[in-house]
A and B are shown apart, each in its own frame.
Chain A
Amino acid sequence: MALFQVSGFTSYLELRGQILPAGQTQLVDRTNHYNFGTKTQEFAVPLGVDPSGFLKSCNRDGGVCIDLNHGTTTLAFKFKYGVIVAVDSRASAGRYLASNDVNKVIEINPYLLGTMSGSAADCQYWERLLAKECRLYRLRNNQRISVAAASKLLCNMMLGYRGMGLSMGSMICGWDKEGPGLYYVDDEGKRLSGRMFSTGCGSSYAYGVVDSGYRDDMTVEEAYELGRRGIAHATHRDAYSGGVVNMYHMQEDGWIKVCKEDVSELIHRYRKGMF
């Protein structure tokens, strides 16, 4: 307003904008319907804190060494009859085994699943936030969110905090109008669509097993067995993976939980051919 400018009066919002960094002033609840919350971040970073700078000083070049390990194995692959999702269930804190019975798959809705690997806290929080956004989308637009859009929402959330130390590697699997969908999203903001992904420090072992046994025309039972084997062999060799294999099958009319089997029993079963 002209009078405001002439009198030198600065409105409250402008003053705040000069003190706090740009984009963080809006902590009030604004309707984020149309940009999916990418303009206003979930957390305003406190004044004076520079997470990316701090982290840079903690990597190998800086002298100190803080390794953020992704202790887990998860895998997912598309085949003729849908998508198979298989995860282990071990949570480790350094060399201490926190739990052997963690659920690393979040059931967003009957047609969408998300896996978690990396920092357990980051995965659980951001994927539950994704579930909230998916539910809101369904309410506002009267149709379920597509897998591409859900994975993009998660990817945009990660990009907002890029470089600030988030650690998450997730696979978003679902079935929508375009058919079965599988996307890999990670904390760097990478988002890839593909036929097969495996994440976590046990992923190399899982890739080896699934790559050698994969055929596009597998039967459903063969696919279940392949998923089980992938996780079981990865947990056998990787110290940070273990517990049970939680396996889901994403079909056209929703996902079903296939099994929850202890890996040690699985390894005994496969033993005959191994030693």
Chain B
Amino acid sequence: MAARYDRAITVFSPDGHLFQVEYAQETVKKGSTAVGIRGKDIVVLGVEKKSVAKLQEERTVRKICALDEHVCMAFAGLTADARIVINRARVECQSHRLTVEDPVTMEYITRYIATLKQRYTQSNGRRPFGISALIVGSDDDGTPRLHQTDPSGTYHAWKANAIGRSAKTVREFLEKNYTDEAIAGDNETIKLAIKALLEVVQSGGKNIELAVIRRNQPLRILESKEIETLVAEIEKEKGEEAEKKKQKKPT
């Protein structure tokens, strides 16, 4: 049945699906994992770095992109599509600053990206963007926010979410571990993001890229040394927990 209704994006199937959009969502599921967590005064974005080839320059592979000083996004899916979306979003951020004399709010730029994606699901001769995006930043009043868009053009605000390969595993981990204590402080929130990524990333801290936006501060991408330190701390805490459990066992 699907075979006849999945060629053109503008054709609905009899049971109400837009197959091209669903296939685009499949592409997203193949991309590398990205996780976003919103704390009280900070929002953290973490991505799984794909291993680079031996001869490839590492610094040209960037998965977390700044849209403005106070907004950044990570994506899962087709890198080339993401480049187009990011470029349009960057222009829109500046256009908004020019016309309204104020930086964009998170909701505004997310709505813009989502509308852009939706337009491509309702045009002839074009295919949808094959990316899901996690957009993080802080608004004018400093409140940190996390939004997610998907290829169909819908967007939602989240407390914590993951996209890409193994997103389900990470989301389940977050549902269990996203508590008020876990996000009590900035450092704790960052550690939670790293813990979530370590669930699915092989070979630890070397393959993690992290960005944080604190209340009223510009975007900061953590250096690999900081990540290594935090990963070491997490390992130590895990070890201590395991020790405690062993001692609790009755003799």
Contact = CB atoms under 8 A, between A and B. Distances in A.
Interface of A: 1, 31, 33-36, 38, 141-142, 145-146, 148-149, 152-153, 156, 177
Interface stretch (B94-102, B170-178, B194-202): B94-102
Interface in B66-112: 92, 95-96, 99-102, 105, 107-108, 112
A35 to B, nearest CB: 7
Contacts of B140: 177
A142 B105 CA distance: 11
Contacts of A141: 105, 107-108
Interface of B: 92, 95-96, 99-102, 105, 107-108, 112, 115, 125, 140
Closest 7 pairs (CB-CB, A-B): A149-B100, A148-B101, A36-B99, A152-B99, A34-B112, A34-B92, A149-B101
A146 B102 contact: yes
A149 B99 CA distance: 6
A146 B100 contact: yes
Nearest to B109: A34
Given A148-B102, A177-B140, 4 more contacts: A35-B99, A36-B99, A146-B102, A149-B100
Nearest to B102: A146
7 contacts: A31-B115, A34-B95, A34-B112, A141-B107, A142-B107, A148-B101, A152-B100
A30 to B, nearest CB: 11
- A-side interface mostly: loop
A31 B119 CA distance: 11
B99 A156 contact: yes
A36 B101 CA distance: 13
A152 B105 CA distance: 18
Contacts of B101: 146, 148-149, 152
Contacts of B125: 1
Nearest to A35: B95
Contacts of A156: 99
B105 A153 contact: no
A31 B114 CA distance: 14
Contacts of A148: 100-102
Contacts of A1: 125
Nearest to B98: A152
A250 B108 CA distance: 29
A1 B96 CA distance: 33
A38 B101 CA distance: 16
A176 to B, nearest CB: 10
Contacts of A149: 99-102
B9 to A, nearest CB: 15
Contacts of B107: 141-142
A145 B105 CA distance: 13
Contacts of B99: 35-36, 38, 149, 152-153, 156
A31 B122 CA distance: 14
A31 B116 CA distance: 11
A145 B86 CA distance: 26
A124 to B, nearest CB: 24
Contacts of B92: 34
B218 to A, nearest CB: 21
A177 B103 CA distance: 14
Nearest to A146: B102
